[in-house]
Chains A and B, each alone.
Chain A
Amino acid sequence: MSAAAPPSLPPQASYAEMVGLVADPVLERRPGRLWWIAFGVTLLLTLGFAACLAWLFIQGVGIWGVNTPVVWGFAIANFVWWLGIGHAGTLISALLLLTRQGWRASINRFAEAMTLFAATIAGLFPIMHLGRPYRFYWLLPYPNTMELWPQWRSALVWDFAAISTYIIFSILFWYWGLIPDLATMRDRAHSRLARRLYGIFALGWRGSARHWHRHDVLYRAMAALAVPLVVSVHSVVGMDFAASLMPGWQETIFPPYFVVGAMFSGFAMVLTLAVLLRWGLGLQEIITARHFDAMGKIVLAGSVAMGLSYLTEWFNAWYGGAWIERGHLRFLFTGDYAPLYFAMLVCNVLVPQLLWSGRLRRNLVVAFTVSIVVNIGMWLERILIIWNTLSHTHLPAMRHLFHPTFWDWATLGCSIGVFGCLFLCFARLLPAVAMHDLNKQLHGEKEARA
């Protein structure tokens, strides 16, 4: 399949040029004014995030809009959203590697970094969500004098295990792929300090055939492990909701639906970042229209799958006939959150249909806009899953809406700042594209032409 695919890299490019394209912005060029401004803003937001955390721990979760029926709020929605975003990187790396989609080489590195940062931020939210966050480790099966284990039937325990596994795995996978490039950086760096640091993390990589052999074997083995892991993480997150008896949550479709949603939002975020990186680091030669075309198709597929999931949800709620399920369905379309629900449908289902057109897929402005819209839509979906179910509970006496507070919005906004700050650092310190994979791909394309 990859043999028949059109080339993604410029045919006349040389290997050294490619390495230079990626490494030079880090090693040769000084950060521009725009980078500093962006870094300053995101750093401020990061400090803001620290302030949000501090105020939360001083005052308690009461600073948020959560209330007696809607006990879950932004923290859980943010968690699911960030974790969804944190899916695409590993998926791109692993799934596309296993299916020999060579074009992944241009995007897999920064997508993996995105995964790492997003999953880490996501991991913070459930802890912040807790009433007594300093006891979060009670979810771990650690030996203790109380001789008490976690309660294994709870989806939250599965969740805790799945996320921590996923984050650890993502770090390892990302780092393993980075080692050869770190060695390249070590070799090209001018300053002693840079050489030292890159050298330490390159773990003495010499590029010998043995090194490459072992690297590739392990990398492919990890990729094979990664795919089920990616699927399992968001399935388990879906079970946080599905393993309940609340209308709108208790649906067997939730695990696959969450995985698709995660892929969808993750790819949208990769699209966003690809546009920004390409422009910021001058990677026009490396991230080409062909990449946007491919990612656009995946986003489109995700959008169609989401639409089908929604339809299935509606149909089942109606077909099941339970008054509470039907009441939930009615609330989706006529309740207090209906405008947001329609906005979500527009963002997630309607707008991505633009990507049927190949011309629009390759148009960066369109790709960027659609990706932002999808991410807004996916956040809306996360929060609406919580709001629509919990604010419209079985007993009419206990129905109460959720009104977000300043701290709800601040925590969400600042978490995006943290992500931006981490990503800006990444772009300045590490090769944003997997150089060795890129050249492997270039080699393949050259051979195919020859």
Chain B
Amino acid sequence: MSGAALSRRQAALGLLAAAMSGSLVACSEPEEEILPYVNQPEGLIPGVPQRYATALPLNGYGRGVVCTAFEGRPVKIEGNALHPASLGATDAFAEAELMQLYDPDRLRSPRRDGRPASWEVFLAELLPRLDPARGGEGLRLLTGPLTSPTLLRLIGALRERFPRMGWHTHAPIDEENARRGAELAFGRPLDLLPVLDRAEVVLCLDADPLGPGPDQIRHGRGFAAQRQARAGAARFGRLYALEPAISLTGANADHHLLARPEEFRDLAAWLAAELGAPLPRPELPEDRRRILRAVAADLAAHAGAALVLAGEALAPELHALAHWLNARLAAPVEAVAPVQGAAAPLRELVAAMRAGQVETLLILGANPAYDAPADLGFAEALRQVPFAACHGLHLDETAAACRWALPAPHALEEWGDLRARDGSAAIVQPLIRPLYGTRSAPALLGLLLGQLDLSAHEAVRATWRGDRTPEEFEAWWRRAVHDGLVPESAAPRLALPVPRLPELPPAPRQEGMVLLLRPDASTWDGSFANNAWLQECPQPLTRQVWGHAARLAPEEAARHGLTAGQVVRLEIDGRSLEVTTLLDPGVAPGVVALTLGHGRSRAGALGTGLGADAYRLRRSDALWVLPGLRLAPTGRHEPPILAQQEQQLEGEARDLLPLVTLDAALRDHEPSPQHRIDQPSLYPDFRYDAQAWAMVIDTTLCIGCNACVIACQAENNIPVIGPEEVARGRDMHWLRIDTYVQEAGGTLRPGFQPVPCMHCEQAPCEPVCPVAASVHDHEGLNVQVYNRCIGTRFCQSNCPYKVRRFNFYGYADGQEYGNRGAPVVAAQHNPEVTVRARGVMEKCTYCVQRISAARRQAEKEDRPIGPEEVVTACQAACPTRAIRFGDLSRPESDPARLRREPHHYALLGELGTRPRTTYLQRVRNPNPALEGGGA
């Protein structure tokens, strides 16, 4: 896999050259005009980072980001507040794109049958096959889901040139059911955008708006808008979730009901009937009827602000029924024309390949040899294609099966454009010269169009030039690129026609076990499988790292003679796979939940061979719910690697993360001794003349998405340590999301508690350090002086929060995991933060480098530091704005304000540590009809 490895010096020089050649000023001017510069460009100060707006794709949709680069090296990705899919925040995938960029396993040059070759040879082979006279007979194009106006424009041009060319798209995590449901209801394809910030009561029928995906940030922010538990606040939303296996949405719901997948037809029908649909009321058990009755009443009472969401795994008819319900409830839903380009599905391509009708196949940004449903037999059909070329970041399963594997640039290396879910377009601008010999997708399509020198930059500009004059266009372009958002590009909101009430299919009768497939929070569809940050990021709820597991209820496991950590064989229709088990009471009986995106055979040095490939069981007619599952214990024991082993809170330990009802939270009361922040002390208080930094985390708003964890990792050069080290309990994340389950309202409910350093006023770590490496600073930070630390580890053994992390090995300093020591990975390091050596303790610093930068700037300008000037990495990433940071000495600052809330508390306050990081209790809003007034 490896090309010529560069030495550190060579890499540094290369990067310097890349910086010098002008990618740095890409913000204001296209790189072609300024290369190479002799005089230092104005505004460029070596060592001072520059920030550029761009956009990153997930499932084809763009999320606007602002990327920080030091001398041409992108080191940190943050959200773009102007972009409607980012709103200033990020998700874990966006944060981790840096590791995709700097992945040493990327494809570095074209390969012909596995051997390195040149683009010229590829051209020489490709061009003779493109005879316009044949009209594209035998020519096929397969892409991932596309929203890029430029690519869609080029494909349009291509179809004009080759009318008989076929264009297909394939997305393993598709929206086929939603699309067909909209067609059923409205008679035409539409994209429906639920507006969660206007929805006071939301019912999710196996929908996961808060889970990973291109909408996570927008929905997270919308959810948060309804969940502000503040003294004197008038409203607070309520979320119901009915699902077969607990998702992040279910974890954050006020009422959660586990139901088997085949129940949803009857559940939806009963609810619709209750809300007035002319449908026969199906037979349901009393507990189902009780909750549906309460939900229906609640939805009806909030007409205009009530919303029903159907998940992708539900049949199109149920989606249509949800649309009917939403229309009935006047739900806050917007509709736009489909943003993705419409192409033929993959199965038609496979049929054509089988029939020998495909002579030339170009695959752009898709990996169907791995992630197509197994019954299609894509990999097998691919062997019958005489000339196939696959364009992607890695030499993946598909690229390896094609004659040509073509290296693609990362989104941070090339020009492009992307639309968000609502149609808003953003220009993708490169922050770094391509690291390897890549060619962009527009350039590749240019080849097909006969424009051999088409650059992505030109292509994108041509797309957007329209009928603007050159002067107008330059001004327009600069603005669009600078802002990271094309003005007025959002798709017009369409008036929704009255939806038809669909004819419901008969309820499927399924007796046996069902396999439920879900996207993976770490690898998504498998494309992030080689991403070390994501693999090591504990997955929401299960807290598993470096792999996945078949999740099933403990009773179900006992029924099949399975114990936790045992490898089980999952068999469906003669196909089988083996995967370890995780007992999870959040899975409905008779259901096994498994995520996609693992078991890759060609992901790279880190991702290959982790977990099991669930696509092997997938069928094109059963993408998400696979009946007829048989379980066979294998007797082998391979326990999943869990970053957190105990989740249950009982007795007084429940004070660690109180789960309270809205009334109880906002009632004015004296905090309990466990939660007091002002325990008396024998030591004199510190005196502060400057800022007093503090953080307050609203656990009600924390949806457990992990964006902050990866943001912290990227910002603070936190090393990846690999599965063996995590299994030994040496997780290095400075910020972790403790996940606890506790009894509330008669059932077990989860809660998330992000835990950074508490920066205690009476810090237990400070007096025990014999060499004064752990000290209190003049702004109340508890700082760690790496140079002084000799590694006694007394500080960590005395830290009740256990937030300190020790370099047992040189994780970032000569003993890196896997190929993490490759020079190209070092390019990601934030130069503002020390890369820690072996034998020293480290921990959260409240992003002291950002505080220091703000202080320097303020001192230069002779003014105090502004109220929102310092934003920590975790705070910036948080989609729900659950993490608030600021100066406690200003009474109007966020933390000072939140500390006055009645449900504010200090974690382990009884120890008298007086933490600067404090919390708001996790508030739930149960329906009084279901919980007898709440308790």
Q: Which residues of A contact B (CB under 8 A)?
A: 59-62, 65-72, 126, 129-133, 135-136, 138-139, 148, 150-151, 153-157, 160, 240, 243-246, 322-323, 327, 390, 393-401, 403
Contact = CB atoms under 8 A, between A and B. Distances in A.
B646 A396 contact: yes
B767 A69 contact: no
A156 B792 CA distance: 9
Given A130-B790, A131-B793, 7 more contacts: A132-B791, A136-B790, A155-B768, A246-B797, A393-B800, A394-B801, A397-B647
B257 to A, nearest CB: 27
Chain B's interface size range is 35 or more
B653 interface: yes
B908 interface: yes
B564 to A, nearest CB: 16
A327 B728 CA distance: 24
Contacts of B725: 62
B764 A132 contact: no
Contacts of A150: 770-772
B547 to A, nearest CB: 18
A151 B793 contact: no
B681 to A, nearest CB: 12
Contacts of B791: 61, 130-132
B839 A246 contact: no
Nearest to B732: A68
Contacts, number: 165
Q: Tell me the dominant secondary structure on chain B's binding face.
A: loop
B768 A396 contact: no
A322 B792 CA distance: 29
Contacts of A72: 793, 797
B808 interface: yes
User: Which 3 A/B pairs are nearest by Cβ-Cβ distance?
Assistant: A131-B791, A131-B839, A67-B729
Contact of A244 (B646, B729, B764, B789): B764
Contacts of B806: 68, 71, 131
B810 interface: yes
B738 interface: yes
A364 B793 CA distance: 43
A196 to B, nearest CB: 43
B247 interface: no
Interface string B120-147: 0000000000000000000000000000
Given A67-B728, A150-B771, A61 B808 contact: yes
B383 interface: no
A393 B649 contact: no
Contacts of B653: 323, 327, 396
B107 to A, nearest CB: 33
B656 A395 contact: yes
A393 B911 CA distance: 13
A59 B809 contact: yes
8 contacts: A61-B808, A66-B793, A69-B802, A130-B791, A135-B790, A139-B790, A246-B798, A397-B753
B839 A60 contact: yes
Which of A60, A72, A401 has the most chain B CB atoms inside 10 A of its CB? A60
B24 to A, nearest CB: 38
Contact of A399 (B645, B651, B656, B772): B645
Which of A126, A243, A394, A403 has the most chain B CB atoms inside 10 A of its CB? A394
B150 interface: no
Nearest to A72: B797
Contacts of B646: 396-397, 399
A397 B753 CA distance: 10
B790 A131 contact: yes
A153 B4 CA distance: 53
A393 B794 contact: no
B770 A151 contact: yes
Contacts of A130: 790-792, 839
B652 interface: yes
Which of A129, A131, A322 has the most chain B CB atoms inside 10 A of its CB? A131
Contact of A156 (B738, B768, B838): B768
Interface of B: 644-649, 651-653, 656, 725, 728-731, 736, 738-740, 753, 755, 764, 767-772, 788-794, 796-798, 800-802, 804-810, 815, 838-841, 907-908, 910-911
Contacts of B772: 148, 150-151
B769 A396 contact: no
B809 A397 contact: no
A62 B770 contact: no
B719 to A, nearest CB: 12
Given A67-B728, A156-B794, A397-B736, A131 B770 contact: no
Contact of A243 (B768, B790, B804, B809): B768
Contacts of A393: 800, 802
Contacts of A131: 789-793, 806-808, 838-841
B800 A400 contact: no
A60 B810 contact: yes
Given A60-B815, A60-B839, A245 B645 contact: no
Nearest to A401: B729
Contact of A68 (B771, B789, B796, B839): B796
B794 A65 contact: no
A60 B809 contact: yes
Contacts of B807: 60, 131
A126 B790 CA distance: 11
Contacts of B645: 399-400
Given A71-B793, A156-B792, A395-B656, A245 B798 contact: yes
A153 B772 CA distance: 10
A395 B789 contact: no
Contacts of B736: 397
A150 B792 CA distance: 13
A68 B731 contact: yes
A275 B652 CA distance: 52
Contacts of A70: 729
Contact of B802 (A59, A132, A148, A398): A398
Given A60-B839, A132-B839, A155-B768, A323 B793 contact: no
Contact of A65 (B656, B728, B838, B911): B728
A60 B814 CA distance: 12
A395 B809 contact: no
Nearest to A402: B729
Contact of B797 (A71, A397, A400): A71
Nearest to B806: A71
B768 A132 contact: no
A336 to B, nearest CB: 11
A387 B731 CA distance: 19
B704 to A, nearest CB: 13
A70 B796 CA distance: 9
Nearest to A70: B729
Contact of A396 (B648, B770, B839): B648
A51 to B, nearest CB: 19
A153 B682 CA distance: 15
A418 to B, nearest CB: 23
A163 B360 CA distance: 79
A399 B790 CA distance: 25
Contacts of A322: 910
A317 to B, nearest CB: 14
Contacts of B769: 151, 154
Nearest to A139: B770
B561 to A, nearest CB: 25
B781 to A, nearest CB: 17
A180 B790 CA distance: 44
Contacts of A71: 793, 796-797, 806
Contact of A397 (B740, B841, B910): B740
A273 to B, nearest CB: 32
Contact of A61 (B656, B797, B802, B839): B839
Contacts of A139: 770-771, 790
Which of B651, B793, B908 has the most chain A CB atoms inside 10 A of its CB? B793
A133 B653 CA distance: 38
Nearest to B841: A131
A401 B790 CA distance: 24
